[in-house]
Amino acid sequence: MEVILKKDVAYLGHADEVVKVKPGYAQNYLIPQGFAILATASALKQHQETIRQRAHKEAKKVADAEALAKKISEVLVKVPAKVSESGKLFGSVTTAQLSEALAAAGIEVDKKDITITSEVKELGIFDAEVKCYKAVKGALKFEVVAE
């Protein structure tokens, strides 16, 4: 018996997959629990249309994320920090500070999506990585300046 999975099921498959299972498993567990629906001809046709539409939306999100990554890579952000006389920072530059600096430049990014690639303890130009969408990442250059 073929069913279309609505949710991920351990040891069986992921959501939106069409899988073959024993009739008892489908009728007594998967369908009543809402994990799957019966794979009739009309359900399969509707499922294919849903996947096609979802792929179109996914492509648009990836294109938007790539545009954002390109915009981020073109910007040099200045982050002010308190500095000692020898040029060492008091503390460190955080992702929250980078997020605020990007917001000031007109780019909205959540601080959780920013990863600083090296430890920032002095003045200079450093690199960070910004996760825009799933596998799309942008390279951010930022300069630490004295406050």
Domain ranges of the chain: 2-65, 67-146
Q: Which CATH class is domain 2-65?
A: alpha beta
Whole-angstrom Cα Rg for the chain: 24
What pLDDT is stored for residue 45 in this prediction?
Answer: 96
Q: What angle do CA 49, 50, 56 make, to 5 degrees?
A: 90
Per residue of the chain (147 residues), what is the pLDDT tens digit? 999 999 999 999 999 999 999 999 999 999 999 999 999 999 999 999 999 999 999 999 999 999 999 999 999 999 999 998 888 898 889 999 999 999 999 999 999 999 999 888 889 999 999 999 888 999 999 999 998
Domain 67-146 bears CATH identifier 3.10.430.100: yes
What pLDDT is stored for residue 125 in this prediction?
Answer: 94
pTM for the model = 0.72
Q: Give burial (CB, 10 Å; 0-12/13-18/19+) of 107.
A: middle
